[in-house]
Each structure stands twice: as C-alpha cells, then as structure tokens.
Structure 1
C-alpha cells in the first residue's frame, strides 16, 4: 500500500472529489471543508447550542460547547475508487484545542458521498466553527490490486443529510463534561460554604442571646435577694402571727362547741331521769291501799 503524493492527488482527485480545489492539496493530503448541515448535542448553559439538525448558510458559524458532541458533514462529495482506500482526521490545530474525532478513521473502497464526522469537544472552552472552514484532512493510498468486494454502490451519494438513525443513537439531553461537573461542584461548594457561614452567624447570635438571658436572670435573682426577699420576710412574719392567732381562735371555738354539746347531752339526760321518777311516783299513788 502506497500513499498518494500531491502530484497523484492533483491528477486523480478532480474526478473523485466535488467540488475540487487544487489549493486544498498539500503535503500528500487533501483538506475538506465543513458542510451545510450540523448537529450539536444540547447544553442548557449555552444558548447558542444547537439541538436539532441545522442547515448552515455560507460561512454561518456554530458552537460546540465543552463536553458536547457534534455531527459534521463535509462540503464535498468524496469518492474512493475500488483500487484505493482513504484515511481521515481533523486538522492538528483543532486537536490541540481539545476537539477529538471519535468517528471512523478510514473510508472504504467504493464509498461515494459526503463524509460524516463525529466530533467531541474535550477542551475547557467552547469551540466556534463555521461552514466552509477547512477542518478535515483525507489521505488516499493505493491497494496492491483492485478490491473485488468494495462497498456496495448506492443509487445516490451517501450522507447528503445527517442520517436520522445516527442521531437516534445519541442522547439529546445535556451531556456533562468534566468542566461542567467541576463547575457544578464549585457552585455546590459555594452554596454549602454560604450556608455554613449563615449557620455560624446564627449560632453566634444564639450564644449572645443566651448570654443576655443569663445576665437578666442573674439580675432578677439579685433583685429578689436585695428587695423582694426582705419584704417577703417582713410580711411573712406578720402572716405567721395572724395565722397562729387564727389557729388559736379556731381551737377555742372548737372546744366551746364540744363543751356546749356535752352540756346539752347532760341536760337531756337529767330531763329523762326526772321523767322516769315522776312516772314511778304516779304508778305508786295509783295502787289500791
């Protein structure tokens, strides 16, 4: 297998790449441009992020946020003859900024259509690209003989649009990158630190309030000992004397009532005795002599 030189590319590619531009042949490779349709996975933090297949006008730009994927079509329709094989990548200067080609790295013999690249932004910053940007690189290499089982020919060039079945294989929800997770952790750390500060402030205020309440309570106790207790002691002695007098009077009254009750019983007993004596005398007088 021998890679094609720039001279061979200039002689072969006009019939294999459309549109062909000889200025894009360099260093035994051909530079391909970003085409008219892109799809970028969703990033809710970036209002410029594309969420559906989007048609681009000439030179229109778009953004691949950090940690997000993009499907990109080439502007050119590429054909690989059955006697060759092609290898693809993205230009090194974009790799250095964090973009990674995660799609296939070769093109089968017999393929004809636009090339579909899947790009991942592994860098820390959004990548701004645009239609017509010289972004991809393709190399051709000759086989030792024409392949007898090349890619089956299609009725029309492949990947004129980004295939729906390809899009269905990737989530349209937000895909978190390491940078996004780091940002989220920093936000959480900031919120937690703020809450801890608020709790510490509340604790200090509570401690001050408890201290004030303690001093107030001590003041109340001191006031009681200095003023209230002597007054209570004075009135307490008077109350004790009055209570003692009342108890004595109660005892005297109770004794008087008991004495009166006994006297009434004695008088009643004396009356009954006199009545019995009178009855006996009457009975004696009434006996026959």
Structure 2
C-alpha cells in the first residue's frame, strides 16, 4: 500500500478521468483539492438549497451542514481514497463527521456531513476549494467494489430527512444555561427579599405579642380594681341596708302618775365601777350620771315605791 505522489495523481487522474472537471493546478502536496458545490442543506431547517454566484453558505454555531463537491470523483477498484477538510476551515470549527475514506469502485459527487463546533458562523463561498482527497494504491483490486446509488450526484430527500430534528448546539446550550442561571439568581433575590419581609413581619408580631401581654396584665389589674370597687360598694350597700333595717334606740320615758297615786321614774343606768356618787349637801341627794338616761326627782311630799327605784341608788328623805 502506497500513497500517490503529486505526479502520479496528475498522470492517472488525467489518463483515467478520475476527476471531472479536472484542473492540473489543483493537484498539490500529494492531494487533490476539490471545490464545494452551491447545493447544500443546513440545520435546523434542513432543506435543500442551491445558491447563486453572489450567495454564500452559512453554517451557524452548533449546527450541521451537508455539503457536496462540484467535481465527480471515481475511485479505481485497486485504490482507496482518503478525504478531509483544509486546515484553514477546520481551525474555524468546521468538523467532518461523515467519514474519512472513499470505497474502491465509488463513482459520483462526494458528500461531506460537517458540524460547526465553533462559536461563530462559518461562511463558505461556492466553488471554493476546501476539500482534499488522497489516493492510496492497494495490493490488488477488490472483489466487492462499492455499489453506486442513483442519488449520489445530488442531495436527496433521504439525506434531508436524516438531518431533520432539533440540534442542541453548545452555544445554544450555553445561552440556555445562562438564562437558567439568571432566573435562578432572580429567584434567589426574590426569596431573600421575601425572607427579609417575613423577618420584619415576625418582629412586628413579637412586638404585638409583647404589647398584648402588657395589655392583658393591665386588664388583670383593672379587673382586680373593679372587683375591689364592687366589693366596697357591696359592703357599703349592705351596711346602709343593715343600718336602715335595724330597730331604732328607745327615747327616755318621762315619769307618769298611776291610779295608785305613785309616781314612777325611769331607773337610772348602773354607774361605772370607777365612779362613786358625789353628795353636794347632806340634805339633797345626788343621782349618779348615766350614759343613756337620767333619773327625775320625785315631787316633794311623794314617795317612790321601792320596786321602781334603782336598788343601787341611795335615796334620802328631806
């Protein structure tokens, strides 16, 4: 197995018409540079498009593209082809994901499935030479060469259907991550604000509970004072009622004359133990002082019966 040199490429490609259209100056560095066709498809729309001369192919970041060569390429049965993309395009992030070889016996336009792994759009002009192919000789012809398909020379509906579907590019994922991070930060700020509001409400509730406890204590004091006042009113009312309902004291009675001709007098109260009757003259008796009643002296020439006189009060005749 050996790779073809630039000279061998020029000789065999021209003689066997392996590349059509062929340009001798495109054979360089042991490879042949192929042009990109104006026919292409790019996700997410993934529809077949054909550009005019003044239009360009644009592959957004994180999207796939299906590109084709302008040239029709034929690989001999004793040869295998190796394909790639020029380094100047690969350094921008365009990656070939369709494979790296062409089977012996293949004949048609080469299709390249590429992916933009960069962070910017990749813009490609039609007819620009961005693909490269190397030829490598085998020790003999293969017994089972590639079976060519009828849709090999254009982008078919099957090619487009295989590209359909949502493609999550790294740039798009990064935007979504940033959006989610911003939402999380906003949510954290909202939660912190609400937490501070709850703390303020809790402080007000504690303050209200303290005031309520003081009000309850004040209410208890008021209740005690009211009950004391009610008790005093009840006691005063009971005292007034008792005073109004109890019997009044009897007034002192004046001496009265009975039919027997005897005069009665109210008996004087018993003198206190410390007081003794005082006599001012030997002929006029002095009646001791009593706290409630005072004895009345009998008229001259009348006698007071012994049972109506106070036994403890001495009497003398004039």
2:268 aligned partner: none
1:208 aligned partner: 200
Measured against aligned partners, the alpha-carbon deviations of 1:211-259 in whole angstroms (never above 9, x if no partner) come to 1333244345546656x666555444344456779999xxxxxxxxxxx
How many angstroms apart in 2 are the aligned matches of 1:63 and 1:208?
57
When residues 59 and 147 of structure 1 are mapped into structure 2, their CA distance, relative to the original with a 3 A threshold, is farther
How many angstroms apart in 2 are the aligned matches of 1:96 and 1:240?
104
Residue 8 of structure 2 is aligned to residue 13 of structure 1: no
Match 1:185 to one of 177, 186, 192: 177
1:176 aligned partner: 168
Greater mean deviation of Cα atoms: 177-186 or 99-108: 177-186
The alignment covers a number of residue pairs equal to 237
2:114 aligned partner: 119
How big is the shift at 1:138? 0.8
How many angstroms apart in 1 are the aligned matches of 2:87 and 2:33?
12
2:37 aligned partner: 35
Measured against aligned partners, the alpha-carbon deviations of 1:35-62 in whole angstroms (never above 9, x if no partner) come to 12222222xxxxxxx4312222225223
Secondary structure of 2:191 counterpart: helix
How big is the shift at 1:110? 2.8
**Are the aligned partners of 1:59 and 1:132 in contact in 2 as well (CA < 8 Å)?**
no
How many angstroms apart in 2 are the aligned matches of 1:24 and 1:247?
133
Secondary structure of 1:35 counterpart: strand
2:68 aligned partner: 73
How big is the shift at 1:144? 4.1
**Higher RCO (C-alpha under 8 Å, 6+ residues apart):** 1
How many angstroms apart in 2 are the aligned matches of 1:93 and 1:24?
16
Tell me which structure has the larger Cα radius of gyration.
2
TM-score (norm. length: structure 2):
0.62
When residues 225 and 145 of structure 1 are mapped into structure 2, their CA distance, relative to the original with a 3 A threshold, is closer
Question: What are structure 1's unaligned runs of at least 5 residues?
Answer: 43-49, 249-289
How many angstroms apart in 2 are the aligned matches of 1:189 and 1:57?
43
How many angstroms apart in 2 are the aligned matches of 1:88 and 1:27?
14
How big is the shift at 1:67? 3.2
* Structure ranking higher in helix proportion: 1
Residue 167 of structure 2 is aligned to residue 165 of structure 1: no
**Are the aligned partners of 1:32 and 1:75 in contact in 2 as well (CA < 8 Å)?**
yes
**Are the aligned partners of 2:13 and 2:19 in contact in 1 as well (CA < 8 Å)?**
yes
**Are the aligned partners of 2:46 and 2:160 in contact in 1 as well (CA < 8 Å)?**
no
1:57 aligned partner: 52
**Are the aligned partners of 1:110 and 1:152 in contact in 2 as well (CA < 8 Å)?**
yes
Secondary structure of 1:168 counterpart: helix
How many angstroms apart in 1 are the aligned matches of 2:59 and 2:234?
97
How many angstroms apart in 2 are the aligned matches of 1:62 and 1:245?
112
When residues 196 and 153 of structure 1 are mapped into structure 2, their CA distance, relative to the original with a 3 A threshold, is closer
TM-score (norm. length: structure 1):
0.68
**Are the aligned partners of 1:66 and 1:123 in contact in 2 as well (CA < 8 Å)?**
yes
